[in-house]
Chain A
Amino acid sequence: AQSVTQPDIHITVSEGASLELRCNYSYGATPYLFWYVQSPGQGLQLLLKYFSGDTLVQGIKGFEAEFKRSQSSFNLRKPSVHWSDAAEYFCAVTHGISGGSNYKLTFGKGTLLTVNP
């Protein structure tokens, strides 16, 4: 079965420090990978996605992620974190629903980011 693992439940960084959020996936075929961000009390917003081509993907708000097939990983990075980046981050993978051409997202359990001033 397809799955997404985010090993870190909660990460705390200082403002201005670099950030890396880990994501590992388990999927037999070529995965299509996403990072979403959820600010407190809000819905989810897409940060970036990977489905083919360059394995380093640029997203909004200065985030990037690198797809590493050999490690089954899609880690999210940001060189310098801002206080407004405090939120919960979800990695997700798209895969086909068995027997059909429909696709659904499988989400990781999320990583909560706290930013200290």
Chain B
Amino acid sequence: NAGVTQTPKFRVLKTGQSMTLLCAQDMNHEYMYWYRQDPGMGLRLIHYSVGEGTTAKGEVPDGYNVSRLKKQNFLLGLESAAPSQTSVYFCASTPRQGVADTQYFGPGTRLTVL
């Protein structure tokens, strides 16, 4: 049981390039989330998904797209990377959307946009 995994761990992009971050969970969780973490800002929600085939915007969605074609995978895409998207990206999942449910986090992807 690997929990929540993220691919890749590190990436450097040039401005305007595109890339996709992959989040995978093997816990059969319904809900998945993408956050970004910036110094002094805590974690901010980018997009989330309440089930296979559904996605919704979070707090800071601009410049990102997501897809949840399979229950276990949640992809975060950057179509045209900008330096402001330099950040550490975390994926998380919960079994359901209960108010007290714990979110399980992946190890993060450190992205640098030059």
Contact = CB atoms under 8 A, between A and B. Distances in A.
Nearest to B9: A41
Contacts of B56: 102
A101 B97 contact: yes
B41 interface: yes
Interface string B29-45: 00101000000111111
Interface of A is mostly: strand
A45 B4 CA distance: 12
Nearest to B102: A46
Given A42-B107, A45-B105, A46-B102, A90 B50 contact: no
Interface in A75-117: 90, 94, 96, 101-105, 107-110
A102 B50 contact: yes
Most buried by A among B31, B43, B98: B43
A49 B50 contact: no
Contacts of A63: none
Interface residues of A, number: 24
B40 A94 contact: no
A56 interface: no
Given A43-B90, A44-B90, A51 B99 contact: yes
Contacts of B105: 36, 43-45
A51 B41 CA distance: 25
Interface of A: 9, 32, 34, 36, 41-46, 49, 51, 90, 94, 96, 101-105, 107-110
